[in-house]
Structure 1
Amino acid sequence: MTTVEGRVVPPPRRLGPWPAFSLQASVVVFFLAGASAPTPLYATYQQEWLFSPITTTVIFGVYAVAVLLALLVVGSLSDHVGRKPVIFGSIVVQAAAVVGFAGADGVPALLCARILQGLATGTVVGAVGAGMIDIRRSAGTLANAVTPAAGTAVGALGSGLLVAYAPQPTHLVYHILLGIYVLQAVGVVFMAETAARAPGALRSLRVTWTVPAQARGPLLRVAPVVLAVWALAGFYGSLGPALVRRVVTGEGALLGGLALFTLTACGALTVLVLRSAEPRTTTRVGTVALIAGVSLTLLAVAVGSAGLFFVGTAVAGVGFGAGFQGGVRTVVPLAEPHQRSGLLSVLYLISYLGFGLPTVVAGVIVVYGGGVASAAYEYGTAVMLLALLALISTFGPSRASTPATPEAVSGRAPGTGDAAVDGCADACHVGGLPGHGPPSKVSTLAHKGDEHR
């Protein structure tokens, strides 16, 4: 309470832990929905402005480059200035991006909007990911794995439906997203801060790789599958509609969005189904499903089978979800509270490296190497090789390490952790991950979130 001119003024109302958690999860969902929303529109833009598939992949790829730049420069900023200002500022930039999309009159405008969108997303993912873990570690770890896939699915299908059946397709989807971002910005104002301010904010803007020593080995082992699953998602997000039109007859925009939706929705469901599995088991499921799904999809392209194409895409989606979840659950629990945002940023850095840059190569293959089918065969082969490398690494011997107790990984006092958190910690231990450190010194603000669990 404060007193102003003799009157007692109550403190401002703040969102409770779970509303704040849900709000932050929705930020990731709709940021990723905004990133996939242009996918069904690329054919419309291409017909209107007469550009090549290479230009399509460049428009798609600059987003990934912008995400990478933001992750490298400001990925750890919220560990120093707090989660709220970083999240709020990112939403403002994201809103400016969708305004740019809605008013775009050519390729340069699309490129500018995609760059803004990438900068906003790269800035927000580390802050939101760490913010959710601040509130509840087990649910936050799960949300960090499921929300990117869920958001990509929502954006692809929603945009496809609007393009196919709603008026002004190149404007309406962005107007809807703008309204959502405004509401989210208002919600962030009423969130309680969960990270204490710490010195070194300017120093954190230097380009560094902030991977805790205890997480480096596990991160190297999961990097191939994380690259593979997001490279596959990048292909579906940029050239997926063109590939679908080669196999399926029907509404091109809707089917292109449906293909990306199938991939990412199956991925999100897989995360939920496998949330209690050991990280190593989850990674194995992901790599095997990815190899099988891509093989079926390429076979469908060869024989022209629409049904087999979507079956293969669904199986690959299982690999997408399990592979990414295995990566998240392998490395995130190893970070101490002050290391979370930076580590999550590196994980997303790997993801977006695979998400954007290979698609430009695929665009070149489409134009100069024999068309979209040839690009799909070569791209799919590379994805399967990465998945195979990751699968082999899960059978390798682990280096000796000091085993972590559930409390050490979760940051809780002994006897106070819930089953989900302890299960995650046990899964990390059973998986033989090296480098578990001493118990985390969880901040006072993070413990305040525990009181509401």
Structure 2
Amino acid sequence: MNGDRDRRGWLPSCLAGAVFAVCMAGTTLPTPLYGLYQDAFGFSELMVTVVYAVYAFGVIGVLLLAGNASDTVGRRPVLLWGLGCAALSAVCFLCATSLGWLYVGRLLSGLSAGLFTGAATAYVMELAPGKGSPRASLVATAANMGGLGCGPLLAGILAQYAPWPLYLPFAVHLALLAGSAVVLLGLRETVRERRPLKTVRPQRPALPPEVRAVFRPAALASFVGFALFGVFTSVSPTFLAESLDVGNHAVSGLVVALAFFASIAGQSAVGRFGVRRSLPLGCVCLLAGLALLAGALWWELLWLVVLSAVVGGTGQGLAFRGALSAVAAASPADRRAAVISTLFVVAYVGISLPVIGVGVLSGPMGLEGAGLVFIACMAALVTSAAVYLLRRPASTDT
């Protein structure tokens, strides 16, 4: 009887998590399709990375301008706006006849992710029994990263084994978004004192002096982890196709998905290792993932690409959840949200600018050479973070 009651108690949280996953899946849905778009519209590898990075600019804009909107107007309205942006993004990809449609679609996708990132995480945890419990946090994490992983996997399978590869994935996503809206309307609102939209104010990035020592290595590790994800989700399908002769879109989608699924495993392991050990351990795993990716580029071996996705994804999960926990614990209560927003801004800069750099260098150096330069730069950053942590470890172990 108690088990049935417990399952019913978790149902709203799990349903909100499913909505979260559906929205985030849309942000990575085009990943295995970029090669098809290149063939259809005739643009370069640089343009692939720019199209991908436009998404991050949309996320950053929302985090800075309206990251706290759901605290003011309520969770459900903000999430419904996010679903609306995701639906418009899918429509742009369905109507795409030129590169401009892809830019707009990716920007709208970024807006949807920016609206969902904070609001859906809070909503999943507030609907759960015990609210801020580690289990509720894990549901939110799994929904976020699981959705990001399911996007390329779904698109890759449909593109490879079903008709209309540039249309069917987005039509399916639109149907899932419609179902998600129905589910969301059936869930209760958790913000009791709501205020008008006009009271929402932009959030400035903030870094109080007492947070800076913890923030530096946390920000470096977050930057590198998200940069690694950025490279996997933007250019790895092209590398697999051109250098490894892997033309199967389902395989390309699976390789990218593995990185996100491994991140869930890494984040869930933080409770076992503790924050103080998770952040440096995550840096070590990130460094190992980068080394494996360098080997994959140099020797052109598929199994090394797969291993780098798993190891690097695990490192990203350990490092980012450890970074988030350490920064939150070191922040003053009245400025915690602003500090966490600053960490997310750094992370999403990591997912955009280095990827564009790879695109710029891929012209004169080729994709493999550009990837090796990227790996060297990221390895230097994550090594400096690890050395800093070994000399002055994070003070919290929660």
TM > 0.5:
yes
Number of the residue aligned with 2:4:
none
Q: Which of 53, 57, 63 pairs up with 2:49?
A: 57
Matches within 5 A, 1:314-325: 314-325=310-321
Matches within 5 A, 1:83-98: 83-98=75-90
Number of the residue aligned with 2:3:
none
Q: Are 1:377 and 2:377 counterparts? A: no
Number of the residue aligned with 1:132:
124
Q: CA deviation at 1:110?
A: 1.1
Separation in 2, partners of 1:102, 1:378: 35
Q: Are 1:191 and 2:187 counterparts? A: yes
Contact 1:126 1:341 in 2 (8 A): no
Q: CA deviation at 1:374?
A: 0.9
Query: Deviations 1:27-67 (Å, cap 9, x if unpaired)?
Result: 33222211111011000000011011111111111111111
Distance change (3 Å), C-alpha of 1:17 and 1:330:
farther
Number of the residue aligned with 2:16:
24
Structure 1: runs of 5 or more not aligned: 1-14, 400-427, 432-453
Secondary structure in 2 matching 1:228: helix
Distance change (3 Å), C-alpha of 1:72 and 1:168:
same
Distance change (3 Å), C-alpha of 1:104 and 1:156:
same
Number of the residue aligned with 1:434:
none
Q: CA deviation at 1:259?
A: 2.2
Q: Which of 207, 211, 214 pairs up with 1:218?
A: 214
Q: Which of 26, 48, 57 pairs up with 2:40?
A: 48
* Greater C-alpha Rg: 1
Query: Deviations 1:70-120 (Å, cap 9, x if unpaired)?
Result: 111010111111211111121112112112211211111111111111111
Q: Which of 221, 227, 233 pairs up with 2:223?
A: 227
Contact 1:145 1:325 in 2 (8 A): no
Number of the residue aligned with 1:327:
323
Q: Are 1:430 and 2:394 counterparts? A: no
Number of the residue aligned with 2:153:
157
Size of the aligned set, in residue pairs, is 388
Separation in 1, partners of 2:396, 2:94: 49
Q: CA deviation at 1:171?
A: 1.0
Indicate the RMSD between aligned Cα atoms, in angstroms: 2.6
1:84 is aligned with what amino acid? R
Query: Deviations 1:105-153 (Å, cap 9, x if unpaired)?
Result: 1111111111111111111211112223334212343344443332221
TM-score computed with the length of structure 2 as normaliser: 0.89
Contact 1:130 1:341 in 2 (8 A): no
Q: CA deviation at 1:206?
A: 2.5
Distance change (3 Å), C-alpha of 1:132 and 1:336:
farther
Number of the residue aligned with 1:299:
295
Separation in 2, partners of 1:71, 1:246: 36
Distance change (3 Å), C-alpha of 1:107 and 1:318:
same
Q: CA deviation at 1:191?
A: 1.8
Contact 2:276 2:393 in 1 (8 A): no
TM-score computed with the length of structure 1 as normaliser: 0.79
| Higher fraction of helix | 2
Secondary structure in 1 matching 2:188: coil
Query: Deviations 1:163-204 (Å, cap 9, x if unpaired)?
Result: 111111111111111111111111222222222336585454
Contact 2:86 2:109 in 1 (8 A): yes
Secondary structure in 1 matching 2:351: helix
